[in-house]
Amino acid sequence: QVQLVESGGGLVQAGGSLRLSCAASGSTFSINAIGWYRQGPGGQRELVASIGSGGSTNYADSVKGRFTISRDNAKNTVYLQMINLKPEDTAVYYCNRLLFALPWGQGTQVTVSS
């Protein structure tokens, strides 16, 4: 069973940067498309970025040009580089497979102060 663990969140000022990591166990990690999701206070969980097994990427309009998703299959890790952060990016960030989602982990909190 693949498990995903998110890390890298924190408190930053608007305009700052963070890099989130999603570390996976399991030998089949490289064939899975992975998404980064976020859930803001009182909001629904939304998909903000995804990366396919071949490296193709997609982004929500709200983060295009500011967030970059990448993967290192040798390390079984997917990253989310976030720059020019805005207060509205404040949320708990999660990663998961796009298909056949796993049980959600604890996520990593990102807080952007104005």
Taking CA atoms, 105 is separated from 29, 64, 111, in Å, by 16, 25, 18
- Banded model confidence at residue 29, pLDDT cuts 50, 70, 90: confident
Distance (Å, rounded) from C-alpha 54 to C-alpha 12? 32
Tokens of 77: 């890790």
Tokens of 58: 């997609």
If residue 48 lies in a helix (H) or strand (E), which one and from where to where?
strand 45-51
pLDDT score recorded for residue 27: 64
Average confidence (pLDDT) over 5-24: 97
Residue 42 pLDDT > 70, yes or no? yes
Average confidence (pLDDT) over 70-87: 95
pLDDT tens, 52-77? 999 999 999 999 999 999 999 889 99
pLDDT score recorded for residue 3: 86
- Banded model confidence at residue 12, pLDDT cuts 50, 70, 90: very high
| CB neighbourhood size of 10 (10 A) | 13
DSSP-derived 3-state class of residue 88:
helix
Distance (Å, rounded) from C-alpha 69 to C-alpha 81? 6
- Banded model confidence at residue 79, pLDDT cuts 50, 70, 90: very high
Question: DSSP 3-state helix, strand, coil percentages of the chain (rounded to 5)?
Answer: 10, 50, 45
pLDDT score recorded for residue 2: 78
Tokens of 27: 């030998």
pLDDT above 70 covers a percentage of the chain that reads 98
